[in-house]
Amino acid sequence: MRSVSTRTRVATLAAVTAFGALFSTGTAAAATQLNGHWAPFDRCPVDAPAMLAADGVGTTATCISSGSAGGSIKLGNTVVTTGKTDLQLGVLQRADGTTSLVAPAGGALVADSATVPGGLLGLMCPSSVPVVSAVCRQITDADLNKITATIEPAGAPRDFNMGAAFATDVPILTLPVRIHLKNPLLGDSCYIGTTAKPVLLQPKNVTAPSLSLQQFEADGTPGDTGEMGRYTFSGADQADTAFAVPGASGCGLGLLDWAVNLKTGLPSAAGANAVTLDDTSTYFASPYDPASLAPNEGRELARFWHSAVK
């Protein structure tokens, strides 16, 4: 894998790792199963036109998969344990060091839903306010009490810092997000943060990942002379403790915003909130020698991927 520098590849990978672990947007869906070292890339958009057009010299098409087993997010007074996350993207890396991202057709980001401890009872009850007390009295079973929280994109990522990918305690990029609180009594439009006033996360590497390289055959079978190469980054923790959190909106048609804010401690100033991502595992795969496949590197990558389908 020599056409684009290793430093450029690693920087892109570290940034996307942060991007993926934080943008958890739903429950992971069933995907294609792939053989061997291809296994982590079961949603890579190898058939996207931009990926297929990569020539292997000026532009190299690659696949990235990044996941975290879990972590936590603290918003005001509330701490939520997060579940598994999975990010998969195609990346177009250019010889001049610039990159662009290609998302799978079904979306780049999937994750387990996170459950808010204590549910609605813990979030708003008890209360001396009649309207809130009336809601509390309606919570008669676990389904009405349960609240799930999902982090969703609320704007385009920005402020990408290539050098921060190799450092610790330096923001890699800015991620505008909002947190969707889901509960039958809160309705479908209860959010912390909005597209107009999002939560701005700036993830940093807290620990550096360990790095290894695997070479494998086109169909995923390990092999020292194979056409494909895979970087594996493991064990990195990431965090951000400097972001502010706005108040809730749209909860119970807007009638319960203040109750959610009061109990949760929102709005919450920068320094009172935190997000952590534990033990991330990230994989980065492309042809071992992209230039040898010119001018059809992207098409060959797609052919290799399809040959690994079980």
Residues 132 and 124 sit within 8 Å (Cβ to Cβ): yes
Between residues 246 and 7, the one the model is more confident about: 246
Distance of CA 142 to the CA centre of its chain: 29
Q: For 167-186, what is the mean pLDDT?
A: 84
Residue 178 located in a structural domain? yes
Cα–Cα distance for residue pair 245/156, rounded to 1 Å:
18
Residues 230 and 283 sit within 8 Å (Cβ to Cβ): yes
Q: For 65-89, what is the mean pLDDT?
A: 84
Length of the chain: 310
How sure is the predictor about 163, in pLDDT bands with cuts at 50, 70 and 90?
A: low
Place of tokens 């079980």: 310
Q: What percent of the chain has pLDDT over 70?
A: 85
Write down the pLDDT at residue 162: 55
Residues 233 and 281 sit within 8 Å (Cβ to Cβ): yes
Residue 210 located in a structural domain? yes
Q: Which segment, 57-66, 198-207, 219-228, 270-279, is predicted with the most confidence on average?
A: 219-228
Residue 267 located in a structural domain? yes
pTM value is 0.73
Residue 22 located in a structural domain? yes
Supply the range of the domain harboring residue 110: 6-307
Q: How many distinct structural domains can be found in the chain?
A: 1
User: Which residues have C-beta within 8 Å of that of residue 140, sequence separation ≥ 6?
Assistant: none
How sure is the predictor about 142, in pLDDT bands with cuts at 50, 70 and 90?
A: confident
Residue 261 located in a structural domain? yes
* pLDDT exceeds cutoff 50 at 10: no
Residue 136 located in a structural domain? yes
Residue 167 located in a structural domain? yes
pLDDT digits (tens, 9 = 90+) for 13-52: 444 444 443 444 444 445 689 999 999 999 999 999 999 9
Write down the pLDDT at residue 157: 66
Output the average pLDDT for the chain.
83
Between residues 49 and 118, the one the model is more confident about: 49
Residue 1 located in a structural domain? no
